[in-house]
Amino acid sequence: MAVQPPPERVDDVFAACVHGFGATRFSPESAEREKTVWELDRTWVVEDGDEYVATATSYAFEMTVPGGARVPAAGVAQVAVLPTHRRRGLLRDVLGAVLDQAAALGDHYAILNASDTGIYGRFGFGQGDRVLRIELDTDHVELLVDPAPGRIRLVDAHEAHALVADLYERFGRARPGAVGRSAAWWELVLHDEASWRGIGNPFVAVHEDDAGRPDGYAIYRSHERWDRGHANGTIEVRELEAASTDVEAALWRFFRDIDLRTRVIGYPRPADDPIRWRLTRPRRAWVTETLDLLWVRPLDVAACLGGRRYAVEDDLVVAITDETFPAQAGTYRVTGGPDAATAVRVDEIPDLTMDVSVLGSIILGGIDAGELAAAGRITESTPGAVGRAERFFRWRPAAFCSTTF
């Protein structure tokens, strides 16, 4: 049975979590930093005697949904079971407790980064985005279209928090799936020590327009390498947010022009990143991986369906199955468009039927309904309803969350 740990045992929670993920321990310094963002009142454990053998927690996020609204979402994290206690249902205990609590607190969504993609579908999570790893060969890259005018300056990462946090709130939060970051979270993103939240010892480049107003930034690392006397270094771009794609292009050009570096690697990048279409030689920008980062689980189906905006005007009746929260399984009429939306439970024949995990995949516009229908994940009762749903739920810009948690 899952219980909440007392504050004085937070270090024991950390120990159980890192053991579950195969590490030995947090360093004392890492543990102190972790305490600045870990929300113990949203943390659950399973005990075996005095030992914690399973953990799960969530972060209280605000997440952007299609149309720009920001809604409460539980960022589920640190879901771990000790290897000595596998296959006893403990993961279901702690994750179930986290989801129950999040739903009771009024979170519309639960979201997570899946370390094992085979686990979370049975709890109602669906892959909500596609992210790219893009690599540019800087020796052979020229831009077809001029980037935004202005200049780029370097800012010391230790002093960059307020500036990049403001830019992120203004521009980075526009995409569905993006979440807010506290000051403590930014400290981890910009910290000298690498973690899953930040690359460690980062450079911060800020773009300013002709009037000197900041309108974009990038967080990156530079790696030196020499092969037989020739420079062959790389630039690793962890985060790039900007007011426009022209400002993004200016930052990409800045990376291209850094001396002694022949490869720029951007990860994670959203699925609709336009950089390849700006190049005279698009084959010199490789998508070396297409992965998932954001997994989405609606906790309040009506709020999720009614809280976003839709690409076109339509009225669909959707039946949702949900084994984890059977009380929200049912049929919903969704009426919406670019300016408003409503969703109410109805007793009607549905146009479409899907599991809540499938709704999690399409609700932010990151995965097309037509793909999931072709895979047998959506049942069409009204002819043409899948095509309507594909146009209805699709959104641009594409769903993307640059915050890893």
Q: Which amino acid is at 24?
A: T
- Residue 132 β-bridge partners: 269, 290
* Residues 7, 11, 12, 18, Cα dihedral to 10°: 130
What does the block give as tokens for 192? Answer: 């000298």
What does the block give as tokens for 327? Answer: 């009380």
Residues in the chain: 405
Neighbour-count burial for 292-325, b at 16+ CB within 10 Å, e otherwise: bbbbbbbbbbbbbbbbbbbbeebebbbbbebebb
Q: Which amino acid is at 248?
A: E
Contacts for 93-96 with beta carbons within 8 Å, 24 or more apart? 93/1, 93/2, 93/44, 93/46, 93/54, 94/2, 94/44, 94/45, 94/46, 94/54, 94/55, 94/56, 95/56, 95/123, 96/2, 96/123, 96/324
Q: How far apart are the first and last CA of the chain?
A: 25
Q: Which of 14, 59, 61, 120 is catalytic?
A: 120
Residues 189, 199: Cα–Cα separation, whole Å: 7
What does the block give as tokens for 36? Answer: 């600045």
User: Would residue 393 show up in a list of annotated catalytic residues for this protein?
Assistant: no
User: Would residue 120 show up in a list of annotated catalytic residues for this protein?
Assistant: yes
Q: What is the largest CA-CA distance in the chain?
A: 73
Q: Which of 123, 125, 393, 400 is catalytic?
A: 400
Q: What amino acid positions are annotated as catalytic residues?
A: 120, 400
